[in-house]
Amino acid sequence: MPASIPSAPHRLFVVLGDQLDYQRFLPADFDPKTDLFWMAEASEESTHVRSNKHRIVCFLAAMRHFRNHLNDGQIPLLYHELDKGESSLSGLLGQDLKQLKPRLVSVVKPGDYRVEEALRKTVEEHRAKWEVREDEHFLCTQAEFEEHAQGRKSLRMEFFYREMRRKHDVLMDGKDPVGGAWNFDKENRESFGKQGPPPSPMVRGCSPDALTQEVIDLVNQRFPDHPGDLRQFIWPVTPQQAEDALTQFIEECLPCFGRFQDAMWTDEYTLFHSLLGSPINLRLLDPRKVIEAAEQAYLQGSAPLPAVEGFIRQILGWREYVRGIYHLRMPEYREMNFLEADQPLPEFFWTGETDMVCMKSCLKQVLDTGYGHHIQRLMVIGLYSLLHGVRPGEINDWFLANYVDAVDWVTTPNVVGMSQFADGGIMASKPYSATGAYIDRMSNYCKKCRFQPKESTGPDACPFTTLYWDFLDRHRKRLGGNQRLAMQMRNLVRLSEEKLAEIRKGADSLRRPS
Ligand code: FAD
Ligand code: SF4
């Protein structure tokens, strides 16, 4: 039996769909007689970007499990299930505020600026007090990040990460990093070679329980034209499932994670990656626990240091860093377009129908499953979009819609900053630009493709390679002064005018296929 709901609550505690922190959700001074939790499944959150069905199920199923947890604990909760009409979070909240008239509405810092603004306005319209609480899920508070950023001309993840290692005493040997180095990147860039990947676990994730199956049916019925094939759903939606996924990763994948972190292979979707992005972002799994489990694996000798350091860098470094940047630079960050990219998103991003085998593989995979690993995101889909010149806002919304782990605070800096260089260098010191030769080195995609990765002109020209030279050519002025691109720019100068003219023509026809 759920707890009864106070008819005139003093305080309303809003819990958003990615704030399902079973350990920390209850404020120390919570009083069930006068306080009320509030949650809502708002359809607008699945439609403002046309979300992948896997992503929608992750959110809704995890929310319904969390609701049951609160009900079992007799915590008063007002919960709105997805209703038939279009609904927005702020609209639903507004209706309840009108009736309940609480004095205060409190929320943990939302990870989506759009949502925070909409809720704040609604609360103020209803003349209640608006309170935003610190998000204790993260290891770095926003104040600490701002302190780190203050006075620095440019921010770099590496320095932030070292500070975090020291502060949280992770992989440290006194004042020095364990193993004598902060970074083992050189050992973490192997491809699979001709023989292909070593065996990776056949079965990943967990099977849906009855409640999750109910949500799968609902999503299939409610969002039939959204991408995603739900016949196989593997994503954790409870803390226990998330912990099981962590255990599997540590035991079966972590030892190979570092070496093959950047490698790709046709029809191998998950390889040695953790698949923990979604449960960590939903707060089902504490990042401290993940870091500790990886560090223990090293200390017990079951995983090598480069793999463990490479993995911890992603969580303690990149994850905390992008969140700091998001809150530091929003709302203008989302609108940035340093390279003045002005092309619409090609239609094949929503179908996967293209002759480019690398794009087809990575797009079909994410459209079907809601997952792609980092290098597929950065060095295939993101790279194509950068070279093609897609408007950053459009590609950002596409990423936000399609990945199970997508939430604005993490998607936007990764897409707008890291992959599209639309922030002009806040996230990364240079654009991640490369020819098809990079994809050829790191995967077997090119072996089955009708294009040749090294060719930039002619009928076999690889679109990545054509667009790469065209990209450097178009941005000579803007990027010419970037020291980290000096070698690429020197190679551009070596191209003849005739060759460049042909490249420009090829790039134009890729942008405007007849
Ligand atoms: P693993 O490869 O096993 O890595 C372990 C964990 O490290 C991840 O689960 C994640 O929590 C963290 N991590 C790794 N890299 C990053 C990073 N750059 N930023 C933040 N956390 C990181 N990550 C998201 O969580 N949500 C997104 O919407 C998202 N969009 C991305 C879009 C682009 C264009 C790029 C280049 C990267 C994006 N990332 C995003 C970061 C990263 O690609 C994913 O976190 C990772 O691929 C998720 O798969 P995994 O859980 O198997 O991660
Ligand atoms: Fe992709 Fe070019 Fe390789 Fe084809 S040749 S798979 S388009 S990189």
Q: How confident is the model at residue 111 (pLDDT cuts 50, 70, 90)?
A: very high
pLDDT of 348 strictly over 90: yes
Q: Which atom of ligand 1 is nearest to the CA of 372?
A: 47
In angstroms, the CA 12 to CA 40 distance is 13
Say which DSSP state 458 is in: S
**CB neighbour class for 496 (10 Å; exposed up to 12, middle 13-18, buried from 19):** exposed
Ligand 1: centre distance to CA 28 (Å): 32
Does the CB atom of residue 274 touch ligand 1 within 6 A?
yes
Ligand 2: centre distance to CA 379 (Å): 12
pLDDT value at position 86? 67
pLDDT value at position 153? 79
Q: Which residues are registered as beta bridge partners of 79?
A: 39
Q: Do residues 130 and 93 make contact, with C-beta atoms less than 8 angstroms apart? A: no
Give percent of the chain with pLDDT exceeding 70. 100
Which ligand ends up closest to the CA of 380? 2
pLDDT of 364 strictly over 90: yes
Q: Which helix (H) or strand (E) holds 466?
A: helix 463-474
Which ligand ends up closest to the CA of 378? 1
pLDDT in tens, 315-332: 999 999 999 999 999 999
Q: Do residues 468 and 435 make contact, with C-beta atoms less than 8 angstroms apart? A: yes
Ligand 2: centre distance to CA 353 (Å): 14
Minimal CA–CA distance to 90: which of 120, 110, 64, 63? 120
pLDDT value at position 25? 93
pLDDT value at position 514? 63
**Which of 357, 359, 360, 381 for mutating ligand 2's site (highest number of atoms within 8 Å of CB)?**
357
**Which of 191, 266, 445, 457 for mutating ligand 2's site (highest number of atoms within 8 Å of CB)?**
445
Q: Which two tokens stand for residue 265?
A: 């292979």
Q: Which helix (H) or strand (E) holds 105?
A: strand 104-108
- Mean pLDDT score, 226-246: 97
Q: Which residue's CA lies nearest to atom 7 of ligand 2?
A: 356
pLDDT of 196 strictly over 70: yes
Q: How confident is the model at residue 380 (pLDDT cuts 50, 70, 90)?
A: very high
pLDDT value at position 76? 96
pLDDT of 6 strictly over 90: no
pLDDT in tens, 23-78: 999 999 999 999 999 999 988 888 889 999 999 999 999 999 999 999 999 999 99
**Which of 314, 318, 362 for mutating ligand 1's site (highest number of atoms within 8 Å of CB)?**
314
Which ligand ends up closest to the CA of 308? 1
Q: CB neighbours of 296 closer than 8 A, spacing ≥ 6? A: none
Q: Do residues 206 and 240 make contact, with C-beta atoms less than 8 angstroms apart? A: no
Which ligand ends up closest to the CA of 442? 2
pLDDT in tens, 85-106: 768 999 999 999 999 999 999 9
Ligand 2: centre distance to CA 433 (Å): 15
Does the CB atom of residue 65 touch ligand 1 within 6 A?
no
- Mean pLDDT score, 275-287: 98
- Mean pLDDT score, 124-140: 96
- Report residue 74 CA to chain centroid gap: 34
Ligand 1: centre distance to CA 4 (Å): 40
Mean of all residue pLDDT scores within the chain: 94
Does the CB atom of residue 402 touch ligand 1 within 6 A?
no
Strand order in the sheet with 104-108: 77-80, 35-40, 11-14, 104-108, 129-133
- Mean pLDDT score, 393-407: 98
Does the CB atom of residue 189 touch ligand 1 within 6 A?
no
In angstroms, the CA 120 to CA 104 distance is 11
Does the CB atom of residue 401 touch ligand 2 within 6 A?
no
Does the CB atom of residue 357 touch ligand 2 within 6 A?
yes
Q: How confident is the model at residue 309 (pLDDT cuts 50, 70, 90)?
A: very high
